[in-house]
């Protein structure tokens, strides 16, 4: 989408070199797989650490297992501006999810070096540990830890004989210092990421300015009917749990479509569905569904939850199937972008001539946890056909470079604007 611009302050070749270098570090029969807490992930980390140092960054692994490269500013007491993302992947995932953000962040540091620019703030580039759902069943381990929000109980989670505690140690972290980990010096955090959706490509837009990371709510609903013979029980005498569940699934889609027409991003998906006894000649006696709902605006989510509660009551009355009160398995609120950082990103887009639009993120990101301790915002770049978490995931290097140029300009302006807020 973006046209290569020789006037950009960043070097697209260096960005491509990072992306290609990490892509080569993968399970040969499962491209592109480099999951956190595996030897291949550590190989990728070693590659990145070498590149961080080549860019003049002082590297360290913090208590949570995050790789951090530091570029000292003129006035370190002002605090830190941090850029980055993650280098771990899902199984058979893509070459750009997270990786593009790390490569773009590192390029900002190198471009500042090329231009002879020394910021007043310290600049840190971060590769967060385990942003994707890890082998321990949890995600955003590094960013939660850096924000002081990693649950202590998670450390005893196991995969085989390995605990998360030992996994963090193997990554170079120190779980014994997690209680002291929370950072108070980070003044702003910025993350570039592929959109993982089709909007930017469809609209031929260069940059998505992320207004908020949607809150994610998961709702479990259980249906208790009655098992009967499928051939002898008259249709009007059945209490079919599957019929009741299927009706509610249809209503979930209808409700979600209504909210999606509003001002904010909204989606709802029934991603898990099971029935018992799951036999061809038996009327289903039990069913279970799990709804994944995501909302940019919290009032939309609250109305959706209330709507699901009422639907359960109505369908129970109409079908005779007992429906347990919908249970909130998890309920995370949306994370809005910081207005100052978002404005800087918009102005930076304009300065480099990038077409931009505002949009919400329906996926979770490390930025959501960094926003708990600093001003934070993100930008999206397009990915082909909106596809992600697949070997076919693709982003044009020129698009990544244009996004890196936006970060470069935003960091320079933030270095000044943040001092005005002291």
Domain boundary among 303, 331, 359: 331
Which domain CATH number covers 396?
3.40.630.10
Would you say residue 111 lies in a domain? yes
Let me know if residue 7 belongs to a domain: no
Instruction: Mark whether 104 and 152 lie in a shared domain.
Output: yes
State whether 97 and 243 are in the same domain.
no
Whether the pLDDT of residue 124 is over 60: the answer is yes
pLDDT of residue 422: 64
Instruction: Identify whether 180 is part of a domain.
Output: yes
Residue 368 within a domain: yes
Measure Cα distances from 130 to 51, 304, 315, 379 in Å: 20, 31, 41, 20
CATH classification of the domain holding 292: 3.30.70.360
**pTM, rounded to two decimals:** 0.94
Three-state DSSP state, 43:
helix
The rounded distance, in Å, linking the Cα atoms of 268 and 256 is: 6
What is the 8-class DSSP label of residue 309? H
- The confidence score (pLDDT) of residue 22 equals 98
pLDDT score recorded for residue 213: 98
User: Of all residues in the chain, what percent carry a pLDDT higher than 90?
Assistant: 97
Residue in 321, 341, 264 with CA at minimum distance from that of residue 297:
264
What pLDDT sits at residue 2?
Answer: 55
* Whether residues 194 and 220 fall in one domain: no
Mean pLDDT of all residues belonging to the chain: 96
Specify if 138 maps to a domain: yes
For residues 304 and 258, membership in a common domain is answered with: yes
Q: Does residue 109 lie in a domain region?
A: yes
Closest CA to 165 of 180, 177, 183: 177
Region 121-138 average pLDDT: 97
Sorting pLDDT into bands at 50, 70 and 90, what band is 179? confident
The confidence band for 4, taking pLDDT boundaries of 50, 70 and 90, is: very low
> Tens of pLDDT along 244-254?
999 999 999 99
Return the pLDDT at 118: 97
| Each residue's pLDDT tens digit, 203-245 | 999 999 999 999 999 999 999 999 999 999 999 999 999 999 9
Q: Which of 331, 365, 400 is the last residue of a domain?
A: 331
Residues 315 and 379 in one domain: no
In this structure, the answer to whether residues 326 and 360 fall within a common structural domain is no
| Parent domain of 249 | 215-331
Residues 52 and 193 in one domain: yes
Rounded CA separation 40/12 (Å):
26
Q: Of 331, 362, 389, which residue constitutes the final position of a domain?
A: 331
Which pLDDT score is estimated for 114? 97
Q: How many domains, in total, are found in the chain? A: 2
pLDDT band at 5 (very low <50, low <70, confident <90, very high): low
Residue 6 lies in a domain: no
- What is the band of 420 on the pLDDT scale with cuts at 50, 70, 90? confident
Q: For residues 272 and 362, state if they share a domain.
A: no
243 and 168 inside one domain: no
pLDDT in tens, 310-357: 999 999 999 999 999 999 999 999 999 999 999 999 999 999 999 999
Judged against a pLDDT cut of 60, whether residue 33 lies above it is answered with: yes
100, 187: one domain = yes
53 and 148, same domain (yes or no): yes
Residue 84 CA to residue 317 CA, distance in Å, equals 52
Q: Do residue 308 and residue 354 come from a single domain?
A: no
Q: What percent of the chain has pLDDT over 70?
A: 98
pLDDT of residue 341: 98
For residue 6, pLDDT beyond 60: no
Q: Are 298 and 334 in contact (CB under 8 A)?
A: yes
Residue 406 confidence (pLDDT): 98
* Residue at 282 is within a domain: yes
């Amino acid at each position: 989408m973006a046209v290569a611009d020789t006037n950009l302050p960043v070097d697209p070749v260096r960005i491509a070199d990072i992306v290609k270098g990490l892509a080569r570090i993968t399970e040969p029969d499962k491209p592109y797989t480099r999951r956190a807490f595996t030897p291949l992930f550590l190989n990728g980390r070693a590659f990145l650490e070498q590149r961080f140092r080549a860019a003049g960054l002082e590297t360290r692994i913090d208590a949570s297992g995050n790789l951090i490269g530091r570029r000292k500013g003129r006035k370190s007491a002002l605090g830190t501006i941090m850029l980055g993302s993650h280098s771990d992947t899902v199984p058979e995932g893509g070459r750009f999810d997270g990786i593009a953000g790390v490569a773009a962040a590192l390029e900002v540091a190198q471009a500042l070096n090329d231009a002879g620019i020394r910021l007043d703030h310290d600049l840190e580039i971060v590769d967060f540990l385990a942003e994707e759902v890890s082998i321990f069943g949890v995600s955003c381990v590094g960013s939660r830890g850096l924000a002081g929000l990693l649950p202590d109980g998670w450390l005893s989670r196991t995969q085989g004989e390995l605990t998360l505690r030992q996994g963090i140690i193997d990554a170079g972290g120190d779980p014994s210092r997690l209680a002291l980990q929370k950072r108070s010096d980070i003044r702003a955090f910025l993350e570039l990421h592929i959109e993982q959706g089709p909007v930017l490509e469809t609209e031929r837009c260069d940059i998505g300015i992320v207004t908020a990371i949607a809150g994610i709510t998961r709702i479990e609903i259980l249906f208790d009917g009655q098992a009967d013979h499928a051939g002898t029980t008259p249709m009007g005498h059945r209490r079919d749990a599957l019929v009741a569940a299927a009706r509610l699934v249809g209503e979930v889609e209808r409700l979600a479509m209504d909210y999606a027409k509003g001002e904010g991003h909204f989606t709802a998906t029934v991603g898990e569905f099971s029935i018992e006894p799951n036999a061809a000649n038996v009327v289903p006696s039990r069913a279970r569904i799990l709804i994944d709902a995501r909302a940019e605006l919290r009032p939309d989510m609250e109305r959706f939850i209330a709507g699901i509660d009422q639907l359960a009551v109505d369908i129970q009355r109409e079908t005779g199937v007992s429906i347990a009160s919908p249970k909130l398995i998890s309920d995370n609120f949306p994370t809005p972008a910081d207005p100052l950082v978002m404005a800087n990103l918009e102005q930076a887009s304009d300065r480099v001539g990038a077409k931009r639009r505002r949009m919400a993120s329906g996926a979770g990101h490390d930025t959501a946890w960094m926003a708990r301790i600093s001003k934070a915002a993100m930008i999206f770049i397009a990915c082909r056909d909106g596809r992600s978490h697949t070997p076919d995931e693709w982003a044009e290097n020129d698009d990544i470079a244009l996004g890196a140029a936006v970060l470069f300009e935003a960091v320079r302006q933030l270095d000044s604007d943040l001092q005005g807020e002291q």
